[in-house]
Amino acid sequence: MENGTHFRTCHLCEAMCGVAIEVREGHIASIKGDEDDPLSHGHICPKAVALQDLHEDPERLRRPVRRTADGWQEMEWDEAFDLVADRLHSVRKENGRNSIGAYLGNPNVHNHGSLVATMPFLRALGTQNRFSATSNDQLPHMLASLEMFGHQILFPVPDIDRTELFICIGANPMASNGSLMTVPDFRGRLKALKGRGGRMVVVDPRRTETGKLADEFHFIRPGSDALLLMAMVRTLFEENLVNPGHAEPWTKDVDLVRLASLGFTAEAVSEHTGVAAADIRNLARQLATAQRAALYTRMGTSTQAFGGVATWLAYVLNILTGKLDSTGGVMFTQPAVDLIALGGMTGQRGHFARRFSRVKKLPEFGGEYPSSTIADEILTPGEGQIRAFVTVAGNPVLSSPNGGRLDEAFGSLDFMVSVDYYLNETTRHADVILPPTAGLERSHYDLIFSMFAVRNTAKYSPALFDAGKDSRHDWQILLELAHRLEKKRKHGRLPVRAEMGWRAFKQIGPDPILDMMLRTGPYGADIGRVRGVVQPAIDLVMDILPERHPLRGLARLSPLNRHWQDLPKGLSINALKQLPNGVDLGPLRPCMPGRLFTRDGKVNLAPRRYLRDLDRLHALLSAPPANGLLLIGRRHVRSNNSWMHNSRRLVKGKERCTLMMHPQDASRCGLQAGDSAEVASSAGRIVLPVEITDDIMAGVVSVPHGWGHHRDGTRQSVAMAHAGASINDVISDQQTDPLVGTSVLNGQMVNVKVWRSERPRKLA
Ligand SMILES: Nc1nc2c(c(=O)[nH]1)N[C@H]1C(S)=C(S)[C@@H](COP(=O)(O)OP(=O)(O)OC[C@H]3O[C@@H](n4cnc5c(=O)[nH]c(N)nc54)[C@H](O)[C@@H]3O)O[C@H]1N2
Ligand SMILES: Nc1nc2c(c(=O)[nH]1)N[C@H]1C(S)=C(S)[C@@H](COP(=O)(O)OP(=O)(O)OC[C@H]3O[C@@H](n4cnc5c(=O)[nH]c(N)nc54)[C@H](O)[C@@H]3O)O[C@H]1N2
Ligand code: SF4
Ligand SMILES: [Mo]
């Protein structure tokens, strides 16, 4: 790579910060924030410099390895692909297509190559036993979007740069930099909000880094958000504050929501939630009366026992107060590659509960079962039992509930392959590991997070380094495996056309596809001069075509869509290459009801499955509040899920994998600062240092996730030296939100006691 400064997007988290990487003599000399990035304006977090650590990490795998009796052995790519395709094929032949399980991890969504190759890969695997990080994450948001707006990824995003009131429940953007709200430099944006006279309210069981900056902060008992939000809805009706405003004509079933909220008064839910009734009422009033306000919920309200209902109610509150699709409220990003419109056209709007998992009968969403049931499906004998497993960019042993049981399950498989560049807690169980290139060695375009950003932007970066001939990108690995598997299924020979198709796909890769999507998207080709002639004809045709006709979808997707008429035009990869810092496509714009995908073109405010789940909420309200310690997670700005602890720069300093505990609880358990605590549940136990602080609500304890690097047989020496303990070793896989199937990662009950032993803190 030439000497000089190269601009690209950091792909580590959802924030999409622009980075300026200075390269000298083929090496990274520095990584700084890109002042000219139209979204992040120079902001980066400490993880950005770890891009270099990741790039240079000698322990990052660069060639395929195979497990042998004498340890891991390197192999040639061709040999590795053959072996994997062979073994997967024979497991499938012997035990049926569902005997292969597949798990897709979080980094896939930061990788446009993977995204393009995943579909054909999964089709070639042919299994219904698919899992991903979604069910440990944003699944309730996807269900709410599907049920209410008719499309699984049409997410309302806070218009934070123009709001006057930001209500943040169960999220910590100061640490996470936002989620389903791509918001680089949250601190700066918050400062600007306050500078305009705006306010932030935070509701969380822990006074987080975000909570500390709030104008108003409330502790809430974990798992009780649905009660709080329902009482806010109740307050709106009681106090005549319901006013969907411009959304009124395209919103239905307001009255059903009113009926559903009966009984959930602020006074009634106060004891359970731990939030004073006056504060709940006041929250509802603030949301209703502020002209520009956004209520936002994320991980804490999503991955809990009532995550489905809570997420729905958050959407409902924004709609009842007229904040949906209005400036300064919650709006919809209009990305340059509109996967939402594309999904609408190809029938990928999403689906739910079309089939159920074999063992626990949990519902699929978009063809995936909840990850909390992976171990059940591997360990329970019978027709359809998983015998072989594929992981792509995932570390479920640390990221999914009951990691100990997953360890056992992966250890029992006939065959496992991991597409991953680290030998870690999950991939150590693989028979073969296929390592892809790392982020700086491939081109980058953020297909996913451009859809959820607080401003419309687009940016393309070519690969910064060439990893050489003996390397493969994720997309190359996935397509090669898919091709070989398809061939085997057809007894070694594909029809000529199919064979040519595969070869062409492998030849061109994701970028020409991306280019085509950019050119045909909302900011694509400029049909300016012909629009006057073409548009009326198109409108006429559209009127007579049935609602679900593919041509309608096509028009919706193309520059012909009227909604996109005024947007800037001319995007393509070439155009973006001329603008290496990225291009600003403007603030969020109202787009409803035109972008709704529901059959009747209305927002469905009261989908029946949520109403049916309210019996459970009534039961929660009538039972006495649980007495015991409730476990929640947390994130830290220097850590990223489970996989960046091999960067010395990120793990140095004070130990961060601690048990946070309120002084009252600590003294009740006989724990003092510096002690080690044992946290136990039916799933397992972990030991970690206690950190006593009144920043956490009494009755709640917190442990970050992604740690627990003590397991044998991994190859991440820095991470092992800072092992910590895995919260998911004590989170039970028996608890899911029965409505959606999401793992209950927040709010499970645990026992805590003093750990006194001369033995080292390592637990299996
Ligand atoms: N530094 C860093 N950034 C990241 C990541 C990372 O690992 N590290 N991960 C990325 C990913 S994959 C994601 S999905 C996002 C997540 O982004 P966020 O959702 O902002 O992430 P968290 O920090 O987990 O915030 C969850 C908050 O919910 C609170 N909470 C827990 N239980 C409850 C509850 O029952 N009710 C309420 N109201 N609050 C509760 C927790 O105390 C915590 O403050 O972050 C992304 N960004
Ligand atoms: N208790 C608890 N559990 C949680 C959470 C929580 O808040 N609390 N958060 C949940 C959330 S939001 C998420 S998103 C999940 C994340 O869960 P996962 O996606 O399962 O785990 P990660 O830790 O992101 O691991 C990513 C893996 O991908 C590999 N990898 C990194 N980059 C690439 C790449 O470019 N290509 C390939 N092929 N591999 C790559 C890494 O080496 C690592 O093995 O964790 C969830 N688990
Ligand atoms: S916040 Fe940090 S990790 Fe996330 S994109 Fe920005 S620099 Fe990268
Ligand atoms: Mo996530």
Q: How confident is the model at residue 626, as a pLDDT? A: 82
Atom of ligand 3 nearest to the CA of 45: 2
**249 pLDDT higher than 90:** yes
H helices of 708-751, in order, are 717-721
- Taking the C-alpha atoms of residue 504 and residue 522, their distance in angstroms, rounded to an integer, is 27
Is residue 639 lining ligand 1, measured as CB closer than 6 Å?
yes
**763 pLDDT higher than 60:** no
* Greatest pairwise CA separation for the chain in angstroms: 83
> For 488, how many CA atoms within 13 A lie in the half-sphere containing its CB?
22
Amino acid at 750: V
- Taking the C-alpha atoms of residue 53 and residue 47, their distance in angstroms, rounded to an integer, is 10
- Tens of pLDDT, residue by residue over 716-735, are 999 999 999 999 999 999 99
Give the ligand at the shortest distance from the Cα of 185.
Answer: 3
Per DSSP, the three-state class of 407 is helix
Ligand 1 mean position to 407 CA, how many Å? 25
- 638: confidence class by pLDDT, cuts 50, 70, 90: very high
Ligand 4 mean position to 487 CA, how many Å? 35
- To test ligand 1's pocket by mutation, which of 167, 168, 169, 176 has the most ligand atoms within 8 angstroms of CB? 176
Is residue 273 lining ligand 1, measured as CB closer than 6 Å?
no
Is residue 635 lining ligand 1, measured as CB closer than 6 Å?
yes
Give the ligand at the shortest distance from the Cα of 643.
Answer: 2
In the CATH hierarchy, which fold is given to the domain comprising 628-754? Answer: Barwin-like endoglucanases (2.40.40)
Task: Answer for the pair 180, 453: CB distance below 8 angstroms, yes or no.
Answer: no
Ligand 3 site residues, Cβ closer than 6 angstroms: 10, 12-13, 15-17, 44-45, 47-48, 177, 184
Is residue 204 lining ligand 1, measured as CB closer than 6 Å?
yes
Atom of ligand 3 nearest to the CA of 40: 6
- Tens of pLDDT, residue by residue over 292-337, are 999 999 999 999 999 999 999 999 999 999 999 999 999 999 999 9
Is residue 129 lining ligand 1, measured as CB closer than 6 Å?
no
- Tens of pLDDT, residue by residue over 388-447, are 999 999 999 999 999 999 999 999 999 999 999 999 999 999 999 999 999 999 999 999
**762 pLDDT higher than 60:** no
- To test ligand 3's pocket by mutation, which of 44, 636, 640 has the most ligand atoms within 8 angstroms of CB? 44
Q: State the average pLDDT for the chain.
A: 95
Q: Give the predicted TM-score (pTM) of the model.
A: 0.96
Helices 225-238 and 614-622 pack at an angle, to 10 degrees, of 100
Is residue 731 lining ligand 2, measured as CB closer than 6 Å?
yes
Ligand 4 mean position to 77 CA, how many Å? 31
User: 545: how many CB neighbours lie within 10 A of its CB?
Assistant: 13
Residue with CA at minimum distance from ligand 2 atom 12: 137
Residue with CA at minimum distance from ligand 1 atom 47: 176
- Tens of pLDDT, residue by residue over 98-107, are 999 999 999 9
- Taking the C-alpha atoms of residue 22 and residue 30, their distance in angstroms, rounded to an integer, is 5
Question: In angstroms, what CA-CA distances link 485 with 83, 123, 127, 385, 489?
Answer: 11, 10, 12, 20, 6
> Which residues, in sequence order, are CB contacts of 525 under 8 Å at separation 6+?
519, 559, 569, 570
Give which of 195, 197, 154, 161 is closest to 178, Cα–Cα. Answer: 161
- Taking the C-alpha atoms of residue 487 and residue 85, their distance in angstroms, rounded to an integer, is 10
Q: How confident is the model at residue 540, as a pLDDT? A: 72
Q: Please state the domain extents for the chain.
A: 148-335, 516-587, 628-754
Task: Answer for the pair 312, 610: CB distance below 8 angstroms, yes or no.
Answer: yes
**764 pLDDT higher than 50:** no
Q: How confident is the model at residue 556, as a pLDDT? A: 67
Q: How confident is the model at residue 529, as a pLDDT? A: 65
- To test ligand 3's pocket by mutation, which of 177, 179, 459 has the most ligand atoms within 8 angstroms of CB? 177
- Tens of pLDDT, residue by residue over 565-585, are 778 889 999 999 999 999 999
Task: Answer for the pair 179, 11: CB distance below 8 angstroms, yes or no.
Answer: no
- Taking the C-alpha atoms of residue 310 and residue 206, their distance in angstroms, rounded to an integer, is 18
Q: How confident is the model at residue 51, as a pLDDT? A: 97
The pair phi, psi for residue 705, each rounded to 5°, is -100, 170
Element (H, E) at 552: helix 550-557
Task: Answer for the pair 371, 136: CB distance below 8 angstroms, yes or no.
Answer: yes
Is residue 303 lining ligand 1, measured as CB closer than 6 Å?
no
**What do you get for the CA distance between the two ends of the chain, in Å?**
44
- Tens of pLDDT, residue by residue over 595-631, are 999 999 999 999 999 999 999 999 999 999 888 999 9
- To test ligand 2's pocket by mutation, which of 135, 136, 735 has the most ligand atoms within 8 angstroms of CB? 136
Per DSSP, the three-state class of 313 is helix
State the Cα torsion 536-599-303-221 to the nearest 10°.
110
- Taking the C-alpha atoms of residue 558 and residue 549, their distance in angstroms, rounded to an integer, is 15
Q: How confident is the model at residue 761, as a pLDDT? A: 52
Give the ligand at the shortest distance from the Cα of 449.
Answer: 3
- Tens of pLDDT, residue by residue over 182-203, are 999 999 999 999 999 999 999 9
- To test ligand 2's pocket by mutation, which of 116, 181, 420 has the most ligand atoms within 8 angstroms of CB? 420
Characterize 402-416 residue by residue with b for buried, 16 or more Cβ atoms within 10 angstroms of its Cβ, and e for exposed.
Answer: bbbbbbebbeebebb
- Tens of pLDDT, residue by residue over 505-564, are 999 999 999 999 999 999 998 876 666 777 777 777 766 766 666 666 667 667 777 777
- 257: confidence class by pLDDT, cuts 50, 70, 90: very high
> For 605, how many CA atoms within 13 A lie in the half-sphere containing its CB?
25
**759 pLDDT higher than 60:** no
User: 380: how many CB neighbours lie within 10 A of its CB?
Assistant: 15
Residue 169: both structure tokens together: 């429940």
CA dihedral for 553, 308, 298, 286, sign (positive or negative)? positive
Residue 593, preceding peptide bond in cis (omega within 30° of 0): yes
> Which residues, in sequence order, are CB contacts of 330 under 8 Å at separation 6+?
156, 157, 158, 159, 294, 295, 296, 318, 323, 324
Residue 410: both structure tokens together: 């992966």
Per DSSP, the three-state class of 532 is helix
Give which of 587, 137, 37, 13 is closest to 332, Cα–Cα. Answer: 587
Q: How confident is the model at residue 550, as a pLDDT? A: 66
What is the CATH code for 148-335?
A: 3.40.228.10
State the Cα torsion 436-438-444-449 to the nearest 10°.
90
- Tens of pLDDT, residue by residue over 641-682, are 999 999 999 999 999 999 999 999 999 999 999 899 999 999
Report which DSSP code applies to 436. Answer: P
Ligand 4 mean position to 134 CA, how many Å? 7
* Rg of the chain on CA atoms, in Å: 25
- Taking the C-alpha atoms of residue 332 and residue 341, their distance in angstroms, rounded to an integer, is 13
